[in-house]
Structure formats: C-alpha cells, structure tokens
Amino acid sequence: MSQDNTQGPATGIIHNRHHRDSFGSPYSPVYNTTTYQFENTEALLDVIEDRAPGHLYTRWGTNPSIEELEQGLARLENAEAALAFASGMAAISATLLAHGRKGIVCVGDLYGGTQELLVNHCQALGIPVHFLFKEEVGQLTNTLGEPGKLVYFETPANPNLAILDVAGIARIAHQHGALVAVDNTFASPINQQPLELGADLVLHSATKYLGGHSDLTAGALMTSAELAAAVVPWRKNLGQLLAPETAALLSRSLRTLPVRIRQHNENAMAVAQAMEKHPKVRRVLYPGLPGFADHELAARQMKGFGGMVTIEVDGDRAASTAVADNLRLFLLATSLGGVESLVSQPCATSHHGLSPEERLKRGITDGMLRLSIGLEDSEDLIADLNQALTKAFG
C-alpha cells in the first residue's frame, strides 16, 4: 500500500495494489460483496465505533476494490485522498453539497449537467449560485464577499477549450476564504494537476479519459483528507457509491492512462495542425496551437494539451451537419475520452437548449464541430475529416 511519490505516474499507477493475494496474482481480486462477517460483536463494535479499521458495508465506501481504486486516483492527482463515485455528476453533486452550501461562484462555461444541477437544484435548495463569464473573472473579488464560498470552474472548458488560470483564481479565492474546485475531466491528471496549481478539490467524470473505453460510468474527487472526510457522509447517505466491479474495471483502465493520454495528445495535435491548413475550416480551437488565444496560459499550467479539438467549418449549420454525417471513423456521439474518435455538434447536443443568441454569447457557432480524438492512426482520422469536408463542400 506504500505510496512512493518519487515515482512517475505510470510506474505509480501500474504498481498500485491494495494487497498481495495468496495466489501471487499481480492484481487484486474483485470484491463483489456488500457486507463483511465479524468474529464477534466486540469486533463489530470496534469497527462501528472507530476503534479499529475494518469493513462494514460497501455503500459506506468500505470495499477493497473501491479502496484500491481510490488509492490509484489519489496517486494520479498527487492528492492526500480520493473518493470514487457512481458518476461524474455524483462526485460533483456530493462535493457541491458538502462544500458549497454558503454559496457557489462559477467561472466560464460548464458541463450541461453541472449547469442544470446549479440552476435547478442548488438554487431550489437555497444555495446562492453566481455565474461569471470567463471575461468577467476580474469581478471574482466582488462576488465572493463572506468567507466559506466555493469557486467552481472547468479548464479546458467545453466546447471552446477556453483555459482559466487555476493559480490566479486560487490566489484570489483563498484571499477571501473560499475553496476552489476544478473539473479536470477534459485535461486528465496526466496533462494537468490543479491541486499543484493551488486548487483545493479536483473532480473528474471518470466516464471519460480515466475509464477511456466508453464502457463504464464513474466519477472521482481528489482532495485533502480533511475535505474528503466532509464529503464521505453525503456520498454514503445519497447512495452514490459505484459497484465494486466497476471500480475494478476502472482500476484496470488507470494502468494505461499515462500511455493513452500521451497518444491522445499526439493525435489531437496532428489533427489540429492538419485542420488548420484546410481551406474549408475557418478556425481550429486547440490549446496546443501557438495561434490559440489561451495558448501561453495552457503551456504554463498544462503538461500536455489533451485530446479535444474543436473546428469551425466555413459554412452554416447545414454544412457542419453534412461534415458530421459524412464522417466514417468518427462516431456521431456525445461523450469523450474513449479510444474511439467521436464527433458532436455543440449547437445540436451540449448547447441545443440555448437560443442562437445565447449560443453566440458563449462563443458557440453553427459551424462548430467538437472532436474527441481517439487512439486510431492519426493519418486515418485526418483522411476521414478530409473526405467528409470534401463531400460537404463539394
């Protein structure tokens, strides 16, 4: 169970193991159990009354498969503690309820589900929620007021891949006694470590890069032992634990996360560079391109630029629809972070509910296509985009 912080992330995660079994398996077995037997009532009470470590009931989070996963998740973000959840939204909702009750200030664009949670549910519970556009980040000081608030944001954000300055925002938030939570789903812990930059809480939809194969739904929170402890009862009583089987599947995925992310980064850069040269592509949004508005900030706070690329074709909504519908390798699907490449049209998916004016205010245009670049050969992905652009534009 030892955690050697001098090791790199790949070594650390490949050798992350809860315990050695008697058969010498290199990996732990899956503990598909909901409950645990005790020798006697005294031993049971020792665990219930916190005198001895032990497992009592899986929904409480005490399950060896879930604990092994959490140890790996903590390692990846260099965090003291990690909590695993049944989905990204479970991790986000438990964190907001545990640490955001005095008020939440959001900066920039948010994942649709998070936005809905904040607008429909947090406000219904009487939690004050304040939204700032990225350009309004200078007003953060004015919105914080009393200590105890939570500043919440995503970087890179969907679908413009806009970058927010984690260290800069954390400095201001901390001056006002606020905590900082960053949704690090788009970057992954290999490309960006918000805790190192000054954030207090890091969230992931593990459904995306951490899982990496579009075959599981899970979420994660990485933070200090103290801040995690405050979230544990919310997770337990809201019933947000993931199944031990899913935990084991996610632990399996984490072993290849560092190598997968390296290839996502490389493929995305190749696609972004090729699309920049295409006459029918008006704009390419990719943090790794020197011409990208937030490139310098991205280069400063990220170790890699990620697998998400957004292109804007030189045409209207019908043109971007035609490109999406003519792609063969890219699957027309929401979500991201899997080994297979996906395409989605923000105006038809993530931002479908907004009016065209509201979309424009958020920088979402009809010609935009969001690409989740997978692990196929990048030449094949570029050839697929080229043939779809040719078909759409004749």
Ligand X SMILES: *Cc1c(COP(=O)(O)O)cnc(C)c1O
* Active-site option among 59, 252, 255, 262: 59
Asked about 209 being catalytic, the answer comes back as no
Nearest to 349 by CA among 332, 363, 362, 331: 332
Q: CB of 218 within 8 A of CB of 251?
A: no
Closest to ligand X by CB, 69 vs 392, is: 69
Q: Backbone dihedral region of 302: left (phi > 0), alpha (psi from -120 to 50 degrees) or beta?
A: beta
The footprint of ligand X (CB under 6 A) covers 87-89, 111, 113-114, 154, 183, 185-186, 205, 207-208, 217, 219
CB of 205 to ligand X, least distance (A): 3
- Give me the torsion for CA of 158, 163, 166, 168, rounded to 10°: -140
- Output the smallest distance, CB 75 to ligand X, in A: 21
Quote the CA–CA distance of 37 and 44 in Å, as a whole number. 9
Let me know: does 295 contact 162? Beta carbons within 8 Å: no
Q: Is 366 a catalytic residue?
A: no
303 is catalytic: no
Compute the distance between CA of residue 81 and CA of residue 331 in angstroms, rounded to an integer.
36
Closest contact distance (angstroms) between CB of 104 and ligand X is 15
Nearer to ligand X, 18 or 204 (CB): 204
254 or 389: whose CB is closer to ligand X? 254
Nearer to ligand X, 242 or 322 (CB): 242
| Least distance (Å) between residue 89 CB and ligand X | 4
In terms of CB distance, is 28 or 341 closer to ligand X? 341
Nearest CB to ligand X, comparing residues 206 and 389:
206
In this complex, which beta carbon is closest to ligand X, that of residue 104 or of residue 389? 104
Nearest-approach distance from CB 182 to ligand X, in angstroms: 10
Alpha-carbon span 366 to 320, nearest angstrom: 7
What is the rounded CA–CA span in Å between residue 128 and residue 105?
8
* Residue sitting closest to ligand X (CB): 88
Burial class, 350, CB count within 10 angstroms (exposed 0-12 / middle 13-18 / buried 19+): buried
Candidate list 75, 134, 149, 208, residue with the active-site label: 208
- Shortest distance, CB of residue 335 to ligand X, whole angstroms? 7
Helix (H) or strand (E) holding 46, with range, is helix 41-48
Indicate if 59 belongs to the active site: yes
Cβ-based nearer residue to ligand X, 154 or 200? 154
Q: CA–CA distance from 69 to each of 16, 84, 153, 287 (Å)?
A: 9, 7, 25, 30
Question: Phi and psi at residue 120, in whole multiples of 5°?
Answer: -85, -40
Q: Nearest distance from residue 203's CB to ligand X, in Å?
A: 7
Nearest partner of 235 among 74, 83, 122, 64, judged by Cα: 83
**182 membership: H or E segment, kind and range:** strand 179-183
Give me the half-sphere count of Cα atoms (radius 13 Å) on the Cβ side of residue 140.
28
With H, G, I as helix, E, B as strand and everything else as coil, classify residue 312: strand
Least distance from ligand X to the Cβ atom of residue 370, Å: 11
Contact assessment for residue 329 and residue 382, using Cβ atoms and an 8 Å cutoff: no
Q: Which of 109, 165, 183, 294 is catalytic?
A: 183
- Please give the structure tokens belonging to residue 175: 């001056």
Point out the residues that are catalytic.
59, 111, 183, 208
